């Protein structure tokens, strides 16, 4: 097998650069996500130092990165407690749609986009980035915070909604019929519902199937299962992230603890690749033409996402500072919004001019805003697993904060 020296050199330089950026961010207690995004922008087409040999690896690694981020996030919770949280937050889902999809649709109409473009821009402004938010909660040590279940419930309900939205948008963008769209939506909903029901009713058997005393065997079994479920979800235009999250939810006890240990280094590597790939997917000069409109839309929908998070956190009796943290955590947009832009790029080319800079602005601003929101109370570190377990058992009894 021939080894590409150019690929190895580019990846070596990239990882060294990311380590420097990450160390600088940690020095000031910030998430490195914005710096990774900017690095990707600088290394992509039209950037200052393109990496042609590494592009294919980075784009493939990005898909693995978002799956691992949601898998390890799901390992922090049980399917039973999360199902209860989802039921409690159905009203939050409607608030989310009203506050965040409507501004995108209105701006699309004002900009003169066609019907598909208007629908697409509504989706771009509605959907938060599961990958960015998952990493943020870990970076900021907030997985054990009282507001985190509300944040995750909103994210998962958004991702569930993609099972309806993405097939519909894809068919309309390709000029398909209404019947084609309905069939695609029905298939996606059926598959996603079946996976969720199986996880809820029989997921406790999964741990016995994948567990093994050897760490390598455990890692390979979990990765194989997770990537298979994620692929199935993606095949029906649902969300690979939801599939990975559900696998994580079904693993509990010692299996979940060991899975976190063996998967964390792999997750961190591919998560960094994921954020760089978001930057790579954006051409710098495309950010300029509609920048004022993108900035205005970003300001409006950042505020509406904060209100969404506050509403959801209040339903869990979380105090004011926790509500602010929940809202700020949801501000970032990312991979799903870029997928939407790609789906309708041919049928509504004007969409990318406003949506691309919009996504990039919030992908950078969101993590920074989350870092400084609700600073009056120190966050518990996610690495303190015993404390996290105590918090989960006593969420209902703990005083709001």
Using one digit for the tens of pLDDT, what is the confidence trace for 360-384?
899 899 999 998 886 654 444 433 4
The total domain count for the chain is 1
* 167 found inside a domain: yes
Q: What is the mean pLDDT of the chain?
A: 83
The yes-or-no verdict on residue 100 having pLDDT over 80 is yes
Who's near 177: CB < 8 A, 6+ residues apart?
171
Q: Where are the beta strands (DSSP E) in 250-344?
A: none
Q: Mean of the pLDDT values across residues 309-316?
A: 94
Who's near 268: CB < 8 A, 6+ residues apart?
none
* 3 found inside a domain: no
* 314 found inside a domain: yes
* 73 found inside a domain: yes
* 177 found inside a domain: yes
Who's near 171: CB < 8 A, 6+ residues apart?
177, 180, 181, 184
Alpha helices, DSSP H only, in 174-252?
178-202, 206-210, 215-235, 240-250
Who's near 187: CB < 8 A, 6+ residues apart?
167, 236
Domain of residue 169, residue span: 13-393
pLDDT of residue 343: 78
Q: Which has more confidence, 384 or 106? A: 106
Cβ proximity of 239 and 162 under 8 Å? yes
CATH at 107:
1.20.1530.20
The yes-or-no verdict on residue 386 having pLDDT over 60 is no
* 399 found inside a domain: no
pLDDT tens readout for residues 259-304: 999 999 999 999 899 889 888 878 787 788 888 999 999 999 999 9
392 pLDDT band, cuts 50/70/90, is very low
* 42 found inside a domain: yes
* 6 found inside a domain: no
pLDDT of residue 302: 96
């Amino acid at each position: 097998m021939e080894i590409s020296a150019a690929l190895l050199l580019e990846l070596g330089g990239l990882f060294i650069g990311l380590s420097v950026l990450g160390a600088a961010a940690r020095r000031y207690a910030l998430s490195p996500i914005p710096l990774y995004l900017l690095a990707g922008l600088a290394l992509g087409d039209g950037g200052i130092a393109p990496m042609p040999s590494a592009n294919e690896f980075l784009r493939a690694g990005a898909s693995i990165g978002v799956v691992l981020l949601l898998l390890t996030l799901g390992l922090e919770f049980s399917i039973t407690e999360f199902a209860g949280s989802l039921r409690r937050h159905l009203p939050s889902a409607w608030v989310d749609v009203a506050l965040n999809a409507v501004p995108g649709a209105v701006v699309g109409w004002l900009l003169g986009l066609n019907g598909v473009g208007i629908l697409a821009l509504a989706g771009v402004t509605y959907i938060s980035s599961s990958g960015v938010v998952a990493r943020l909660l870990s970076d900021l040590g907030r997985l054990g915070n009282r507001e985190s279940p509300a944040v995750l419930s909103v994210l998962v309900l958004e991702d569930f909604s993609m099972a309806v939205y993405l097939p519909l948008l894809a068919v309309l963008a390709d000029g398909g019929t209404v019947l084609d769209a309905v069939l695609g939506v029905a298939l996606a909903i059926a598959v996603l519902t079946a996976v969720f029901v199986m996880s809820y009713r029989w997921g406790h058997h999964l741990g016995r199937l994948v567990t093994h005393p050897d760490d390598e065997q455990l890692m390979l079994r979990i990765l194989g299962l997770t990537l298979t479920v994620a692929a199935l979800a993606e095949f029906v235009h649902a969300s690979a992230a939801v599939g990975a999250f559900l696998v994580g939810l079904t693993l509990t006890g010692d299996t979940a603890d060991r899975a976190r240990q063996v998967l964390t280094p792999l997750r961190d590597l591919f998560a960094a690749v994921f954020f760089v790939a978001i930057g790579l997917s954006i051409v710098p000069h495309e950010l300029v033409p509609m920048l004022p409109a993108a900035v205005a839309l970003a300001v409006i929908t950042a505020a509406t996402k904060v209100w969404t998070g506050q509403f959801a956190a209040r339903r869990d009796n979380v105090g004011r500072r926790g509500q602010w943290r929940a809202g700020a955590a949801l501000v970032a947009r990312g991979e799903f919004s870029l997928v939407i832009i790609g789906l309708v790029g041919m049928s509504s080319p004007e969409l990318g001019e406003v949506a691309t800079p919009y996504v990039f602005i919030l992908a950078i601003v969101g993590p920074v805003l989350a870092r400084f929101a609700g600073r009056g109370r120190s966050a518990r570190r996610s690495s303190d697993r015993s404390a996290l377990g105590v918090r989960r058992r006593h969420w209902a009894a703990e005083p709001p904060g």
